[in-house]
Amino acid sequence: MKYWLTILCIIIISHSLTAQQNIKINKTSVIESFPKIKKGDSRGEISLLGIKFKDTMVLCQILIALMMTITFIQSGLDKLIDRKGNLEFFKSHFAHTPLKSVYSVGLSILTILELMGGAMCAYGIYCAIVENSTIWIFNGLLLLAVTILILFLGQRIAKDYQGAADLVSYFILNMMGIMSMY
């Protein structure tokens, strides 16, 4: 699980390198059907499964948003469905910290932030595909960056350093998505 970001980067880099080459076997281009890249287009517009994207960067932004949507919608729904179990975990997790008196409010705030950020990314995916606009992905990733930082702060205060370290990969992926926007 720790190496998934490295693997994703390798796949993206190897795909872009392969797509740039014009490999011919028996006078037929290997890269003709999937994904389709318009030759001579400086933007590198691609078509994948009949959906046109401005360039490969937009496709990567959509995939990052999809990852964040799945992660945070699932996490937020878990906090709603099993609120009692999550309250018990938060109570024990923050028992010896300054957050012991506000863990219930903290859980509610995190739940709202996770669901809002995940929903914004999901809507952003729709907008990116239908309207060719990634502004909602940007806004969703920005809200989720704040959410991850809040989670990170809580883990550090609770002295759960492994839990805090686990959040770093999500934050890096999120920052890659934000930095690729503009």
> pLDDT by residue (tens digit) across 89-145?
999 999 999 998 999 999 999 999 999 999 999 999 999 988 889 999 999 999 999
CB contact at 8 A, 177 and 128: no
Determine contact, residues 20/35, Cβ cutoff 8 Å: no
Binning pLDDT at 50, 70 and 90, where does residue 85 land? very high
Domain that holds residue 16: 4-179
Query: Exposed e or buried b for every residue in 120-147, given b needs 16+ CB within 10 A?
Result: bbbbbbeebeeeeebebbbbbbbbbbeb
| Tally of domains within the chain | 1
Pairing assessment for the beta strands 24-25 and 51-53 based on DSSP bridges: unpaired
Range with lowest mean pLDDT among 26-30, 80-84, 109-113, 166-170? 26-30
| Predicted pLDDT at 21 | 42
pLDDT band at 48 (very low <50, low <70, confident <90, very high): confident
Go through the chain and tell me how many residues it has.
182
Q: Over the chain, what is the mean pLDDT?
A: 81
Q: Which amino acid is at 106?
A: G
Alpha-helical (H) ranges within 28-180 are 56-81, 83-93, 103-130, 135-157, 161-179
